[in-house]
Chain A
Amino acid sequence: MEPREQEQIRRNMRAFEAALEAGMTGKLGPELPESALLALDGSDQDEIGLDLMIHCVRTFGLRVFLLPAVPSQSEAADPDREALDAALRRFEEAGLEASGLLDASPEAYHRFSRALSSCEADWFVLPCPFGHDLGELRSRTLGTSVEVPLVRGDRPILVVRGPVVSPEQALFHPHVILRENLPESSAEALRLGLGLLASAAETPDLRVTFLLPEESEPGPIHERDWSPPDPDLRAALGPTGASLFHRLRETRPDLAWTAAVRRPSTLHPERSRVGGRLHLLPAPRMEDGVEALLQHFLLHTLDPVLVVPAPQRGS
């Protein structure tokens, strides 16, 4: 038997496995969260997170839980209570409701772990870097309080970075990244992106980046944006990307969307755009800390990023 025949069998196996996994991710029906847990750290990012959540409550009736975890170096007598009261007032002023959760654990990441276990919120919203106590390290690390929930990864986590131009702009012009080697979380990210688009009052605007494996050969498909994406693009994608491309067009034939193809080393968030888009980034299961690609992306963008793990099977 020739080595190239053996390689062909392996390629066929990978293709059939991808076809099976792509199918297992189910239909591409739009999906929206019903509830979210917003962590507050007393920083400017609290305001950004609150703006986003208030907009979500108004648009699709999200239930919001507020969890203060202000760093102990704060000068306030009860910084957690103050941060929570301020947040609740914002909701009241907007004519909306939210629930507060208080936890006496000294470390923020302990509070988050406990809250994630006890609270059934669909999304977890986190300011980042949490607590503003990282100094120069903030450009190189996300901090334990952010990393622990990311690694635990049992639900989407919205990481709030810099200021947003407007909540509508950020939420309803999503940028979904579809990773070839993560069919399930990619499908989930696309479902959430479609859910946000379905609630958008204005003209939906979806941007999709197909992330091919690093070893894929760079070619003409990587060099331009596709608007509208056409079958030539689909032909250049792997099984996961091709399947999602096909199902996106079948689910929303009316949708005008744009696409790009990247490899991990060429996936650069747009630093100059502040809060322009919500990025939906699929994440793998992480046992040895935050994945390098995810960390790099989060550290190099000021946009909000929704990190989407694979949905739990059977849930």
Chain B
Amino acid sequence: MSDSGLQVLFGLLMLLVYGLIAFEVLHKTVAALLGALVLIGLGIGFGVLHEFEQVHRILTHDLGVLGVIVGTSILVDLAGQSGLFHFLAIKVVKRTGGHPLRLFLALQALVFVLAAVLTIVPAMLILAGLTLVICKNLDLPPTPYLLGAAFASNAGAFCTFASGLPTLMIGSAAGIPYVQFLYVSLPFALIAFVVGYLWTRRAFRSELPSDMDEESRATLARTVASFDEWALAPDRRAFLRSAVILGLTILCFALAGVLHVGLDYIAMAGGTAMLLFHGKSVEHTIRKVNWTVILFFTGLFLIVGLVKETGLLDLLARSLRNVTGDSVPLSILLFTWSSGVSSALVDNIPVAATMIPLVQGMEGLPKEPLWWSLVLGCNLGGSATPIGSISCVIALHTLYAESGIKVSWGRFLAVGGVLMVLQLALASLYLILHHAGGLMPTLPG
């Protein structure tokens, strides 16, 4: 088969796998592994792979990402078992005194921070449970609170290198040092959070109670004050140890460049320290590592790596390069919006995996603005549709399963779709100004 024929075949098979994932025809891990196996077979059969060891070399590029996922899974699971995050969540909620609007802000701020530290899924699993219990006990409508939290978590997912899986993938591929996230993406994450809060408060203004009499306010305050945060922190020693280990791990992430080690080393060190000092069953904890995600990543990395071997992604990159010319602002717009819109329609992990080789192939342009475009686009795009990000999926599924509330696509798009457009427009402007102002730090090497 000709090179172009192979490129079309492999490209179509990759799109087929993405389709199977997007429409949930197969479990995403099974779809990715199946796609990888088929493409490896075809790659060997058609001579795309000259030797089987090439498969191992493809995976070697991404071992760092897998190491970070394993290490942080252990870290987050054991810290979660100590009650640390539940404790913080209750503390924050108690500070609101049960006031509905303060609660609206507090829950969004909380999930933003938790997503930044824990990644989206564990943050949303905690917040979804907390939000439903609070709304039930305070007689508040859960939809604004849960959807607001879902949007805020998407903004929190690019605060730091390890805040979200697409961020981690892009950061690893680009070799972005941890501290550069604090200069570039963290400030915009805060802007995106504020925009998201203001927009959702406006969009849900008819559902959020604003005026209430003294008696109702006192009742809400009493109910919220009743939360016993220590009830969920069963062992103070484990609680303190978890807080210290987690804090040190985050600090070491920031100092990774100085320490001359990879983030996977630090994540594994944090996970091992937690296993050593937490006192919980090692077997049980390791079983709880998210192997589904790791196998999904393995399959996905192989698919993208094999498609890249055909030269299709380089070809696409050259085509994009022809479209943008030497214009950095145009490249920023292209990557921010294409990754954002694609992430609204498909899981943002495959989008990031596919776009990374495209950025790598954009020869002659400064890569920094493009990497950041990808980071912001992949994370913010997920707010647009009910299937755009795992946080939205969790929020909508929980609303339906636990409260019987169904949010239509139309209603969701009216809030999330507009928010995505607002946030992507601001993100484009932010990156263009950042680049034009010479504020964007250069990547090492």
Q: CB within 8 Å of B: which residues of A?
A: 1-2, 5-6, 8-13, 15-20, 22-24, 231-232, 234-237, 239-240, 242-243, 246-247
For A21, the closest partner residue in chain B by CB is B226
How long is the Cα–Cα vector from A18 to B226 in the complex, in angstroms?
Answer: 11
Evaluate contact between A19 and B234: CB separation under 8 angstroms.
no
Q: Which residues of A contact B393 (CB under 8 A)?
A: 1
How long is the Cα–Cα vector from A169 to B137 in the complex, in angstroms?
Answer: 43
Q: Which residues of B contact A16 (CB under 8 A)?
A: 86, 90, 129-130, 133-134, 227, 232
Interface residues of B in 386-405 (CB under 8 A from A): 390, 393-394, 397-398, 401-402
Evaluate contact between A6 and B397: CB separation under 8 angstroms.
yes
* Residue B326 at the chain A interface, CB threshold 8 Å: no
A169 to chain B, nearest CB (A): 33
Q: Which of B235-243, B306-314, B317-325, B376-384 contacts A (4 or more CB under 8 A)?
A: B235-243
Q: A16-B130, A23-B225 are in contact. List 7 more A-B contacts (CB 8 A).
A: A6-B397, A16-B134, A18-B232, A19-B229, A20-B228, A234-B235, A236-B234
- Given the known A-B contacts A231-B237, A232-B235, A235-B238, are A15 and B129 also in contact in the complex, defined by CB atoms under 8 Å? yes
The 4 closest A-B pairs by CB, nearest first: A12-B129, A243-B231, A23-B228, A235-B235
- Given the known A-B contacts A1-B397, A6-B401, A20-B133, are A235 and B228 also in contact in the complex, defined by CB atoms under 8 Å? no
- Given the known A-B contacts A18-B231, A23-B231, are A13 and B226 also in contact in the complex, defined by CB atoms under 8 Å? no
B198 to chain A, nearest CB (A): 28
Q: Which residues of A contact B218 (CB under 8 A)?
A: none
- If over half of A's interface residues share one DSSP class (helix, strand or loop), that class is named, otherwise mixed; here it is helix
For B278, the closest partner residue in chain A by CB is A235
Q: Which residues of A contact B402 (CB under 8 A)?
A: 9-10, 13
A176 to chain B, nearest CB (A): 18
Among B230, B231, B237, B401, max chain A CB count under 10 A is at B231
Contact code string B133-144 (vs A, CB < 8 Å = 1, else 0): 110010000000
Q: Which residues of B contact A15 (CB under 8 A)?
A: 86, 129, 232
For B398, the closest partner residue in chain A by CB is A9
Evaluate contact between A24 and B126: CB separation under 8 angstroms.
no
- Of the residues B121, B137, B233, contact of A5 by C-beta under 8 Å: B121
Q: Which residues of B contact A11 (CB under 8 A)?
A: 129
Q: Which residues of A contact B234 (CB under 8 A)?
A: 231, 234-237, 242
Q: Which residues of B contact A9 (CB under 8 A)?
A: 125, 128-129, 394, 398, 402
* Residue B292 at the chain A interface, CB threshold 8 Å: yes
Q: Which residues of A contact B235 (CB under 8 A)?
A: 231-232, 234-235
B255 to chain A, nearest CB (A): 32
* Residue B132 at the chain A interface, CB threshold 8 Å: yes
B326 to chain A, nearest CB (A): 44
How long is the Cα–Cα vector from A136 to B145 in the complex, in angstroms?
Answer: 60
Evaluate contact between A22 and B86: CB separation under 8 angstroms.
no
- Given the known A-B contacts A12-B130, A234-B234, A235-B234, are A19 and B86 also in contact in the complex, defined by CB atoms under 8 Å? yes
How long is the Cα–Cα vector from A8 to B80 in the complex, in angstroms?
Answer: 11
Evaluate contact between A22 and B231: CB separation under 8 angstroms.
yes
B397 to chain A, nearest CB (A): 5
Q: Which residues of A contact B231 (CB under 8 A)?
A: 18-19, 22-23, 239-240, 242-243, 246
Q: Which residues of B contact A5 (CB under 8 A)?
A: 121, 125, 394
For B390, the closest partner residue in chain A by CB is A1
How long is the Cα–Cα vector from A23 to B232 in the complex, in angstroms?
Answer: 11
29 contacts between A and B (CB under 8 A): A1-B394, A6-B397, A6-B401, A8-B125, A9-B128, A10-B129, A11-B129, A12-B125, A12-B128, A12-B129, A12-B130, A13-B132, A15-B129, A16-B133, A19-B90, A19-B228, A19-B229, A23-B228, A231-B234, A232-B235, A232-B279, A234-B234, A235-B235, A239-B231, A242-B231, A242-B232, A242-B234, A243-B228, A247-B230
Interface residues of B in 59-105 (CB under 8 A from A): 86, 90
Q: Which residues of A contact B225 (CB under 8 A)?
A: 23
Evaluate contact between A2 and B227: CB separation under 8 angstroms.
no
Evaluate contact between A23 and B86: CB separation under 8 angstroms.
no
- Of the residues A23, A232, A242, contact of B227 by C-beta under 8 Å: A23
For A244, the closest partner residue in chain B by CB is B231
For B132, the closest partner residue in chain A by CB is A13
Evaluate contact between B137 and A20: CB separation under 8 angstroms.
yes
For B125, the closest partner residue in chain A by CB is A8
How long is the Cα–Cα vector from A193 to B347 in the complex, in angstroms?
Answer: 56
Evaluate contact between B227 and A17: CB separation under 8 angstroms.
no
A241 to chain B, nearest CB (A): 9
Among A19, A236, A237, max chain B CB count under 10 A is at A19
How long is the Cα–Cα vector from A6 to B132 in the complex, in angstroms?
Answer: 13
For B230, the closest partner residue in chain A by CB is A246
B146 to chain A, nearest CB (A): 11
B133 to chain A, nearest CB (A): 4
How long is the Cα–Cα vector from A20 to B121 in the complex, in angstroms?
Answer: 24
How long is the Cα–Cα vector from A6 to B226 in the complex, in angstroms?
Answer: 26
Q: Which residues of A contact B398 (CB under 8 A)?
A: 6, 9
A29 to chain B, nearest CB (A): 15
How long is the Cα–Cα vector from A23 to B226 in the complex, in angstroms?
Answer: 4
Evaluate contact between B232 and A19: CB separation under 8 angstroms.
yes
For A13, the closest partner residue in chain B by CB is B129
Q: Which residues of A contact B397 (CB under 8 A)?
A: 1, 6
B91 to chain A, nearest CB (A): 11
Evaluate contact between B292 and A2: CB separation under 8 angstroms.
yes
Interface residues of B in 107-134 (CB under 8 A from A): 121, 125-126, 128-130, 132-134
Q: Which residues of A contact B238 (CB under 8 A)?
A: 231, 235
Q: Which residues of A contact B137 (CB under 8 A)?
A: 20
A253 to chain B, nearest CB (A): 14
How long is the Cα–Cα vector from A53 to B402 in the complex, in angstroms?
Answer: 50
For A11, the closest partner residue in chain B by CB is B129
For A234, the closest partner residue in chain B by CB is B234
Q: Which residues of A contact B228 (CB under 8 A)?
A: 19-20, 22-23, 243, 247
How long is the Cα–Cα vector from A239 to B233 in the complex, in angstroms?
Answer: 8
How long is the Cα–Cα vector from A13 to B292 in the complex, in angstroms?
Answer: 24
Q: Which residues of A contact B401 (CB under 8 A)?
A: 6
Q: Which residues of A contact B230 (CB under 8 A)?
A: 242-243, 246-247
How long is the Cα–Cα vector from A240 to B234 in the complex, in angstroms?
Answer: 10
How long is the Cα–Cα vector from A281 to B390 in the complex, in angstroms?
Answer: 45
Q: Which residues of A contact B132 (CB under 8 A)?
A: 13
How long is the Cα–Cα vector from A189 to B213 in the complex, in angstroms?
Answer: 36
